[in-house]
Amino acid sequence: MTVAETAPPILDQEEERRARRERLERLAKWTLPSLVMAATILAWHLYVTIGEVPHYILPGPGRVFGQIVSDWTLLGTAALTTFRLAMIALAFAVVAGFCLAVAFTQSKFVEMSFFPYAVIIQVTPVVSIAPLLQLYLQDPFAAALACAWIVAFFPMLSNTTIGLKSTDRNLEDLFTIYGANRWQRLRLLKMPSALPYFLGGLKISGGLALIGAVVAEFVIGRNGTGLGLASLILEAGYRLNYPRMFAALILISIMGVLIFAATSLISHLLLYKWHESALKRDR
Amino acid sequence: MSDRPEILRMAHVEKTFRGDVVALKDMTLAVREGDFISLLGPSGCGKSTALRLIAGLSEPTRGKIEWAGGQGEGDLGVVFQEPTLMPWATVAQNVWLPFRLRGVAYADVRDEVLDALRLVGLDQFMNAYPRELSGGMKMRVSIARAMVTRPRLILMDEPFAALDEITRFKLNNDLLELKAAVGCTVIFVTHSVFESVFLSDRIVVMAARPGRVIHELAVDAPYPRDDVFRTSPEYAAHTRAASDALHDAIGEAA
């Protein structure tokens, strides 16, 4: 190793300023949102205590967090139900969206035949189909699953379809020249090209699956089926148990954030080596 | 020159789009082993159409394109104007592609892939991803991929047009060295007079509307050619001749 390599790098003032700014930005990325969170909770607490707001109108943060701990058996079980519902719906949405997108790109006629119906499923408000689904599917979990699936399905389908179609024309020609068959073209060219789009769809559908699950629970879980966190919120509303309602709400938000973080992580792990979106920008 | 065996023949090839747009009219060309042929002309002169026809990407409306002894697997290599690499695959995986699509495992052609990368000076980068490479390096990978099957014919469609002049000169020199090393046959589409004179032993000058061949020039300067050739009176004379021919082509079109 030479001296030049071991010596500390020489920074001019601009470089120093930039390094300082980068350190600050790295720090701020985590501390700033945490501070906002803390300030919000503090403001909430002060508002409730100073304004002497009764807990059946707006419970303070301490009471809500206390409720999460004391009601954990009930809340945890309900959260798990909702989470399971959302994840199964997402899994079905991913599989169905992917398979149908592949079918679309393999045959224009399949796309012409079925795409309009995919749009119809997407634009029909799920709340309005839920009672029918419940009537025909009997089992409330199956009905709720169908609702959540409908909400989560379309972004997977449309993103993957666009992805499979957005292959580089010259690469397509190259595959033709080298005599690629249909399967090779799909496996080695279209699927890798579609991956970033597919993962974008996954991020959207992950959040939508949870929203769909909660909405389905609201509509279907109404008649005492005891489905997940939404039923808990409804029930707590009837009993004016607002701390429990807030507790359930907070758990839903945490779940949503976790799903987003998980899908973002998956996306990063699959793309960071080669995709432009994962490229660190040079200044 | 004419004692070398013919590998491809285009006979009265014509390509018409939508029934009335004549992209290429009555093109006849015999390609011999070891040829470096440039197709030179303004845009719309059918040079890219000719290349696509030879590559089998589209079919001639009239006329015939025949490979001596028929076209076998790996007989053809292609380099496009863009490097056209798969961004999700490493350099080595990209070069492996022509074999891979024939069902050949990487382990069986590892030596060929490495040889091709060594020829373009990028064997150190076999595990890099395309986005880590400069424009010129990407183009070299693309050339390595076209060469890896040791094809009888390599088609190049303005491969260096998007590069800066310094990189372009360097790649022109390297391309000739490469050709000398592996002895391949090249058809090279360009709109640069200088490039075509420096590289080729035959220049086919084409004119537009309808796309057609109007001149064929021989550049009989011996290989190897290097930067000295670029400043020689011989080079200047050939450049003048090619420019005049190109001028004809543009004059006729306008």
Beta bridge partners of residue B205, listed in sequence order: B40, B215
Q: What does the buried/exposed string (b/e) look like for B79-111 if buried means 16 or more CB atoms within 10 Å of the residue's CB?
A: bbbbbbbbbbbbbbbbbbbbbbbeebeeeebee
Q: How far is B89 from chain A (nearest CA, A)?
A: 8
Q: Is the pLDDT of residue A282 over 50?
A: no
Rounded to the nearest integer, the mean pLDDT of chain B is 91
Which pLDDT belongs to residue A225?
62
| d(C-alpha A171, C-alpha A180), whole Å | 11
Which pLDDT belongs to residue A3?
46
Q: Within the 26-85 window of chain A, which residues sit less than 8 Å (CB to CB) from chain B?
A: none
- Any chain B CB within 8 A of the CB of A278? no
Q: How far is B87 from chain A (nearest CA, A)?
A: 6
**For residue A274, which residues of chain B lie inside 8 Å, CB to CB?**
87-89, 129-131
Q: Do A174 and B97 touch (CB under 8 A)?
A: yes
Q: Is the pLDDT of residue A42 over 50?
A: yes
Q: How far is A6 from chain B (nearest CA, A)?
A: 25
Which pLDDT belongs to residue B28?
93
Which pLDDT belongs to residue B130?
95
Q: Is the pLDDT of residue A160 over 70?
A: yes
Tell me the pLDDT band of B147, cut-offs 50, 70 and 90: very high
Rounded to the nearest integer, the mean pLDDT of chain A is 89
Q: Is the pLDDT of residue A65 over 50?
A: yes
Which pLDDT belongs to residue B157?
94
Distances (CA, A) of A114 to A100, A104, A107: 9, 9, 11
Q: pLDDT of B97-132, one tens digit each?
A: 999 999 999 999 999 999 999 999 999 999 999 999
Considering only A101-110, A223-232, B61-70, which range has the smallest mean pLDDT? Answer: A223-232
pLDDT cut 90: percent of chain A above it: 64
Reference B203, options B182, B223, B222, B218; nearest CA is: B218
Q: Do A180 and B101 touch (CB under 8 A)?
A: yes
Burial class (CB in 10 A: 0-12, 13-18, 19+), A202: buried
pLDDT cut 70: percent of chain B above it: 98
Which pLDDT belongs to residue A283?
40
How many CB pairs below 8 A link A and B? 53
Tell me the pLDDT band of A137, cut-offs 50, 70 and 90: confident
Distances (CA, A) of A163 to A106, A191, B65: 13, 8, 36
| d(C-alpha B150, C-alpha B182), whole Å | 8
Q: How far is B248 from chain A (nearest CA, A)?
A: 32
Q: Is the pLDDT of residue A166 over 70?
A: yes
CA torsion B88-B115-B138-B38 (nearest 10°) is: -130
pLDDT mean over A84-109 = 95
**For residue A192, which residues of chain B lie inside 8 Å, CB to CB?**
86, 88-89
Residue B88 has its nearest CB partner, among A174, A178, A192, at A192
Q: Is the pLDDT of residue A256 over 90?
A: yes
| d(C-alpha B116, C-alpha B136), whole Å | 16
Q: Is the pLDDT of residue A157 over 70?
A: yes
Tell me the pLDDT band of A280, cut-offs 50, 70 and 90: low
**For residue B57, which residues of chain A lie inside 8 Å, CB to CB?**
173, 176-177
Q: pLDDT of B202-239, one tens digit each?
A: 999 999 888 899 999 999 888 888 888 988 999 999 99
Considering only A9-13, A21-25, A261-265, B45-49, which range has the smallest mean pLDDT? Answer: A9-13
State whether ipTM is beyond 0.85: yes
3-state secondary structure of A207: helix
Residue B76 has its nearest CB partner, among A177, A188, A275, at A177
**For residue B100, which residues of chain A lie inside 8 Å, CB to CB?**
188
Q: What does DSSP assign to residue B129?
A: -
Structure tokens at B233: 């009176």
Q: Do B80 and A179 touch (CB under 8 A)?
A: no
Q: pLDDT of B159-200, one tens digit each?
A: 998 889 899 999 999 999 998 888 889 999 998 999 999 999
Roughly what angle, to the nearest 10 degrees, separates helices B106-119 and B135-147?
130
Q: pLDDT of A181-220, one tens digit each?
A: 999 999 999 999 999 999 999 999 999 999 999 999 888 8
Amino acid identity, position A227: L
Q: How far is A275 from chain B (nearest CA, A)?
A: 7
Which pLDDT belongs to residue B2?
59
Tell me the pLDDT band of A2, cut-offs 50, 70 and 90: very low
